[in-house]
Structure 1
Amino acid sequence: MYRNLMRTAVSGAALMVGLAMARPASAIPAFAAQTGLPCAACHIGFPQLTPFGRIFKMEGYVLGDKNYPSIENFSAMTQAGFTHLKDKVPGGLSPDFPSNNAWSIQQTGLFFGGVLDKRIGLGAFVQGTFDGVAHQFHWDNLDIRLAQQTNLFGKPLVYGFTFNNAPGITDLWNTLPAWGYPFIPSALGVGSTAGLQIAGLAQSVAGVGGYAALNVTPADLIYAEADFYAPLPNHTAYALGVGPSVGIASPAYYMRQAVQHSVGENSIEFGATELLDNPYPSGLSHGPTDGIVDLGVDTQLQHIEANQAFSLQAAYFHEAQHWGASYPLGNTANLNDSLNYETVTVSYLWRQLVGATVSYTNITGGADTGLYNSGTGNANGKPNTDSITTELDYYPFNRGGPKIFPWVNAKLFIEGTAYPQFNGLARNYDGNGRSASANNILFTGIWLVF
């Protein structure tokens, strides 16, 4: 994509992502003006949300003294880096890029974030991105919220409505694909042929939904959400830089449930996610459909102190695939398939300056030579892929930006990913002798926000 900055980017609260002011690390001008709070109030580094950051997002990005937007509600970011694979990719890492050892400004983003009309609880997070690899501008993350607060049976209740463009972009925890790790993957790396539908719909749909969060006790939160999505019309998709239109029969249903317990420096969340979708066979936009159901469970644990923070995220998804329309056309070898996705990520941040992350991801599923064919670099028709990622980060301006540019913040990172298995095999996975380890990647660079 970086249609999937969802995988990489600034979190939903997150234009707060630490665009530091002259005083110790504040939010971007929009949220600094609204809240006056340091970015550490909402983020562990960035983009992971703290319990307070989740409240800020849930309440519609309107916290603070401002009632209407101003020029301070706009900001920008860029991500630039150097990509090195263990073995070069014949023909180039991407069009206009060499076969290895490539520099790229892989994305530049423009944002609006914050209050639209505080009187009615209306706020927004809107992002447009220029993809420096595809050389194309497109709409990116969008979440416009109308939130209200009341009481239910004497308990505080936040409820609201959302207009957004990706299942999971509204989520409050960093466990789903929309905001999960890796936050900054290399756009020039080699990717697996298999992916979850919940991630694949990002920015290709538009949806509306409602959510509610009930504090049954001061420490215990129950959250529920339901959204409905339709594909963008083809001309709209092209106009927004994400064409052609994704071939699904609307509506697609997204549901989310979670419970969170917070006490002192600790919080823990357990959640479940469901996506029900009916895509058309590849290349079609009408007629019989297939059926895809994504079912997921997840958990997040956080321990946050003034000088250090620890977090753990884990998620498991099972995708059931019924190819009722694609199988008769010969597009798949099986009438029914399944895909399993699991990931565990552990991260640590010291004094808001230095961070470390280790993450493991495993994708498994049955063989289908029609679905995963040799033309996509998959000779045995299996999606099975394992990856282990280690990342080190340095935040030079988290304690205050330079005097000439006080609202800037940055993350300097070095990220390494190893593949024990790729597209079903450790060796010769593509039928041309390439090993999984050939895709091992070193990616280093800067994430700059201002």
Structure 2
Amino acid sequence: MHDKIPGGLRPSFKSNDVVVPQQTSLFYGGALDAQLGLGAFIQATYSGVSKSVHWDGMDIRFAHPATLFGKPLFYGLTFNNAPTITDLWNTIPAWGFPYIHSNVQPGPVADDQIDALGGEVYGIGAYGALNITPSDMLYTEADLYKSLPNHLSYALGVGPAPRVNGVIPYVRLAFQHTWANNSFEVGSYALFDRPYPSGRLNGPTDRILDVAADSQFQYITAKQALSIQANFVHETQDWRASYPLGITANPSDTLDILTFSVSELLFQKYGVIESFRTVYGNADPLLYAPSPIGGSANGKPDTNSWTTELDYYPFNNGGPKWLPWLNAKLFVTDTVYPTFNGLAHNYDGFGRSAGANDTLFAGMWVAF
């Protein structure tokens, strides 16, 4: 951090310059029954920040090849715990940049609903990938999610669960064209839910609709991998339950989040990533109220950030003889905030500047 956080970055942590084993994860990825086409990706994680174990990403799916109108088709069913975790591209929340981020740095006051629900829900869905031509693929998916029961969310280490009424529909549509060493994807996705107002477990609900567009370009050879991703989420917030209770100042609000990233990997060893993210929406002095560090003095969520990451992969061409399947990533990430929660200076109403949240994050990721 550029400036210290009064009271510590997290409970039992210093106010700056923290060294911590951020997380340790156990993965399973592979077939459950190859003949049936049943497979799974399951992750459990120990957090060195919260000092607790929780379930992480999960996708159990059935996949089967077929034909549709004489064209190759892969279709199946999925049981998973996060909207977008089933996706094939690195543009949307489950797999988008930052791939590894600091769990102790402050974040903006607002985030989109589709990102916030990851790991807090469970759902089933169906998907299909149709090869219209050998170079063109159309991908479609539709899922229905439910909030985890509160007792189960605590048992899985992610409690308290978000209080959302009924089912949460999620849909995805994407088109990809490939040629030579290149691929280009353009798509859209959406999610709708009906959360209860803060502190309520029943009664009237609000309405949240996320509609997004995304695109990805990749050029990949043995010596180079260039990747460009763009993602835009527009969120419509209908506070029909929260507004009468005085929780929000407006009967409705909007929130927009744009992320643009460019990455280059050379010789499968040296990488650099540059990313820009902007969050903006209309002013709501109750929803985004002044408070130390995390608040907004002018009631706006507007936040801009630039992130630069440098990577080194020492074992991408093979691990040491004593552990040939070892892989590792050494990285340094620098995030700079020109504006934070609406302003560049005194953004929280208590004298803190946006630049005080600039963060230098370095680490080592090891997999074997």
TM superposition score normalised by structure 1: 0.81
For the residue of structure 2 that corresponds to 1:157, the secondary structure is strand
Shift of 1:311: 0.4
Q: Whole-Å Cα distance in 1 between the matches of residues 36 and 77 of structure 2?
A: 12
Q: 1:179-258 to 2 correspondence within 5 Å? A: 179-258=95-174
Distance 2:71 2:201 in 1: 46
Equivalent position of 1:133 in the other structure: 49
Residue matched to 1:40: none
2-structure distance, mates of 1:377, 1:281: 19
The alignment yields a C-alpha RMSD, in angstroms, of 0.8
Tell me which of 204, 229, 245 is aligned to 1:329.
245
Aligned-residue offset at 1:379:
2.0
Match of 2:345 in 1: 427
Q: Where does residue 412 of structure 1 map in the other structure? A: 330
Matched, 1:156 2:72: yes
Q: Which among 178, 181, 186 is matched to residue 262 of structure 1?
A: 178
Measured after TM superposition, the shift of residue 407 of structure 1 is 1.7
Higher relative contact order (CA 8 A, sep 6+): 1
Measured in 2, the distance between the counterparts of 1:280 and 1:211 equals: 30
| SS of the residue 2:243 aligns to | coil
Structure 2 distance, partners of 1:245, 1:419, is: 30
Structure 1 CA distance, aligned partners of 2:114 and 2:60?
A: 20
CA shift, 1:136, in A, is 1.0
| Larger strand fraction of residues | 2
Query: 1:278 aligned to 2:200?
Result: no
Identity of aligned residues (%): 56
| Residue ranges of structure 2 left out of the alignment (5+ in a row) | none
TM superposition shift of 1:431: 1.1
Deviations 1:143-175 (A, max 9, x none): 001011100111000001000001101111011
Please, which runs of 5 or more residues in structure 1 have no aligned partner? 1-84
- Tell me which residue corresponds to 2:28: 112
- Residue 97, structure 1, aligned to residue 23, structure 2: no
Tell me the alpha carbon deviations over residues 371-398 of structure 1, each in whole angstroms, 9 at most, x when there is no partner: 1112342222110000000000000011
2:68 is the alignment partner of 1:142: no
Q: Give, in angstroms, the shift of residue 351 of structure 1.
A: 0.6
More helix by share: 1
168, 171, 189: which one pairs with 2:87? 171
1:15 alignment partner in structure 2: none
**Match for residue 124 of structure 1?**
40
Q: Distance in 2 between matches of 1:362 and 1:436?
A: 14
Taking the aligned partners of 1:234 and 1:413, their CA distance within structure 2 comes to 37
Aligned to 2:166, the other structure's residue is in SS state strand
Matches within 5 A, 1:341-356: 341-356=257-272
SS in 1 for 2:115: helix
Could you tell me how far 1:221 is from its partner in structure 2?
0.2
Question: For each residue in 1:225-275, what CA deviation from the matched residue of structure 2 results, as whole angstroms up to 9, or x when unmatched?
Answer: 000000111111110001112100120010000000001100000000110
TM-score (norm. length: structure 2) = 0.98
Give the match's secondary structure for 2:19.
Answer: strand
Q: CA deviation at 1:90?
A: 1.1
Please state how far the C-alpha of 1:182 moved relative to its aligned partner.
0.5
CA–CA distance in structure 2, aligned partners of residues 371 and 132 of structure 1: 31
